[in-house]
Structure 1
Amino acid sequence: MHRTYSMRQTRAPTASQIENPPPPVSSTKSNRWLGKGGLGHAFRKNAAGAFGPDLSKKLSQLVKMEKNVMRSMELVARERMEVAQQLSIWGEACDEDVSDVTDKLGVLIYEIGELEDLFVDRYDQYRVTIKSIRNIEASVQPSRDRKQKITDEIAKLKYKDPNSPRIVVLEQELVRAEAESLVAEAQLSNITREKLKAAFQYQFDALREHCEKVAIVAGYGKHLLDLIDDTPVTPGETRQAYDGYEASKAIIQDCEEALTNWVSSKAVVKSSLSTRSRTLSLRHRENRSKTRGEGVDLSAQDQPLKGDRDSWLPADQHPSYQRDSDVEDLESTADGEPRGREEEREPVPV
């Protein structure tokens, strides 16, 4: 810009950047051999859903769609900076007050473009975290495929050759495959929940910071508009000389100071739950913690026997033993041969 009071090139890290260091540059800002527009977007989205393991196809498509969103946001940021420069160029030929205010407005709009560019970098943290879930899903797919393949082979052999000895071998392999798959599925479930929460924490934190800072810029932009004298004049009448250069400069500096000192703990917009929502959320957390705390203690179900052999007693010698008169155990006959319950019992004299 031809006139600017922005100190972005020499600006020290803001309080927000110290509290939450900026992420690396987004991976979407390079390797653009497929173009920047709709053709590349459509190709990436459709290609992601057509290839790869079945388990990770849907999430692969989501990751590619988010990449399209980020590239669109990057394009908006770059074009907003160009708009800011063009606004300042147009204002040069206007009256003094309009020229000064449009130049300062260009500074603020350019600042919004740079905030959007930084937002793309923070948004990429969300996308990369979601991408890690996709990678885990892709690694779990082979164990599912192996288990399904063994199951199909067993079913085929049982249909063609039920007495084949290979069925026993395959069933043993199936047990091992199911054990491996069980471990993989548990890891997938745990990692999915962990990464999903972390990913959207990144996104919502980035959105909150971006929107708060844009709101700050918009507020100071309205203060700049107050410096323009919009009182109608009659033909031939001259306006009062403009003396707002120092005021506009001070407004820009105040805006930069506000952006520099912004931290998430000082955010103006706060999300507050209603009483019903708070009660239901608290109840859900309590039920979850209660379920986790419950358990069955099986450590004392089998008491170890004493070391001496004399400690063992037959069942009928235990104090709590009661013989069931309706059910007869196997009894021995006079010659020592066992006699079952189905044989005829001898009459018992009364």
Structure 2
Amino acid sequence: MHRTYSMRQSRAPTASQLENPPPPSSSTKHGRLFGRGEIGHAFRKGTAGAFGPDLAKKLSQLVKMEKNVMRSMELVGRERMEVAQQLSIWGEACDEDVSDVTDKLGVLIYEIGELEDQFVDRYDQYRVTIKSIRNIEASVQPSRDRKQKITDQIAQLKYKEPNSPRIVVLEQELVRAEAESLVAEAQLSNITREKLKAAFNYQFDAIREHCEKVAIIAGYGKHLLELIDDNPVTPGETRNAYDGYEASKAIIQDCEDALTNWVSSTAQVRSNLSTRARNLSQRRKANSIKNEGVDLSGQDQPIKNDRDSWVPAGQHGEYGQDEEEEDEEEEEERPQQSNGKRFSKAARA
């Protein structure tokens, strides 16, 4: 039998990985306190936004919900790999053509599972970038609280002791607090826009690569199906001997080459704007430049699009407690995943 029960256990970097190096493994792939079921999902969603500053609660809830999304995708990838293996096991007892094709189809489906696993890692870049906006929001909250506290104190003194000399002192403190708050708000505005664009660029680039590669696999899978003789036979009639082993191996090899050589610049799906949309977009950009206000970006530290430049939530005072509670959910390590399949072996079998 020409069984190819494995795919790539070790693989050279693809053209896409050379162009855009893969990110670190997703933080959601570590062990988890509540296992892999719905309990952990419900717990995260129910407690999201319950801790930390008010300003960061909504985005904190989004970050926790995205963690649920990623763990669901991770589960889909693992189960797709198991389905691929089972398909190959079932086909082993069938006729030669069905056995060979189902085995190669299992190879392709297993590859889709591996692509989904890689997609989770790239999707995590989006989530961690959004998380950095949440951390900035948490750092701005104290300046808002201080300004509000001083304002309340002044109003209370003016009501109870209109001639109190402390009112003058508090008004001076309020001026300083408002200045500090103005700078913090400007930084938040600038960084939010920068990080939001970077985050969704990560997500859309990951989605585009994943979908195009899945489409490539689907196309070669349909080529494999052409090797099955589906012409009906009468009882007692014998089918022609199957001679598609070399063809099926060549299809697998072509699929591997297509996946290896794929880069975003050669993507087949293009999002072309209509003339109206392009004109409106350009007009909006021109107006934003014309009406540009005071540039406060020079007050901020330059932000790079990498994880090393992000400020950990633990450096934002009390908000670090929420981050520690989130990390405590993942203290237990999960078993290592089984080795991946080997694509090139299928081509050589």
Q: 2:15, 2:8 → 1: CA distance?
A: 14
User: Which secondary structure does the structure 1 equivalent of 2:258 belong to?
Assistant: helix
Size of the alignment, in residue pairs? 294
CA contact (8 A) 2:98 2:228 kept: yes
Deviations, residues 132-181 of structure 1 (Å, cap 9, x unaligned):
00000000000000110111111111111111111111111111111110
Q: 2:32, 2:151 → 1: CA distance?
A: 44
Query: How much has 1:27 moved relative to structure 2?
Result: 0.2
Letter paired with 1:129? T
Letter paired with 1:209? E
Kindly indicate whether structure 1 or structure 2 has the higher relative contact order, using CA contacts under 8 Å at least 6 residues apart: 2
TM-score (norm 2): 0.82
Deviations, residues 263-314 of structure 1 (Å, cap 9, x unaligned):
000000000001110110011111112223999xxxxxxxxxxxxxxxxxxx
Which blocks of at least 5 consecutive residues in structure 2 are unaligned?
A: 296-349
Query: How much has 1:48 moved relative to structure 2?
Result: 1.7
Letter paired with 2:20? N
CA contact (8 A) 1:88 1:106 kept: yes
The residue that corresponds to 1:95 in the other structure is 95
Q: 2:152, 2:292 → 1: CA distance?
A: 37
CA contact (8 A) 2:74 2:117 kept: yes
**Structure 2 counterparts to residues 1-350 of structure 1, below 5 A:** 3-4=3-4, 8-292=8-292
Larger radius of gyration: 1
Q: 1:80, 1:294 → 2: CA distance?
A: 53
Counterparts in 2 of 1:104 and 1:211: CA distance versus 1, 3 Å: same
Letter paired with 1:16? S
The residue that corresponds to 2:331 in the other structure is none
Letter paired with 2:174? L
CA contact (8 A) 1:6 1:252 kept: no
Q: 2:140, 2:70 → 1: CA distance?
A: 28
User: Which secondary structure does the structure 1 equivalent of 2:31 belong to?
Assistant: coil
CA contact (8 A) 1:5 1:253 kept: no
Q: 2:97, 2:237 → 1: CA distance?
A: 16
Query: How much has 1:7 moved relative to structure 2?
Result: 5.4
Q: 1:79, 1:209 → 2: CA distance?
A: 21
Query: How much has 1:6 moved relative to structure 2?
Result: 6.2
The residue that corresponds to 2:310 in the other structure is none
Q: 1:117, 1:81 → 2: CA distance?
A: 10
Q: 2:45, 2:288 → 1: CA distance?
A: 38
Deviates more, 1:31-40 or 1:100-109: 31-40
Deviations, residues 110-148 of structure 1 (Å, cap 9, x unaligned):
000000000000000000000000000000000000110
Deviates more, 1:2-11 or 1:135-144: 2-11
User: Which secondary structure does the structure 1 equivalent of 2:4 belong to?
Assistant: coil
CA contact (8 A) 1:5 1:252 kept: no
TM-score (norm 1): 0.82
Deviations, residues 228-248 of structure 1 (Å, cap 9, x unaligned):
000000011110000000000
Deviations, residues 211-267 of structure 1 (Å, cap 9, x unaligned):
000000000000000000000000111100000000000000000000000000000
CA contact (8 A) 2:140 2:184 kept: yes
Query: How much has 1:107 moved relative to structure 2?
Result: 0.1
User: Which secondary structure does the structure 1 equivalent of 2:93 belong to?
Assistant: coil
User: Which secondary structure does the structure 1 equivalent of 2:144 belong to?
Assistant: helix
Report the aligned-residue RMSD.
1.5
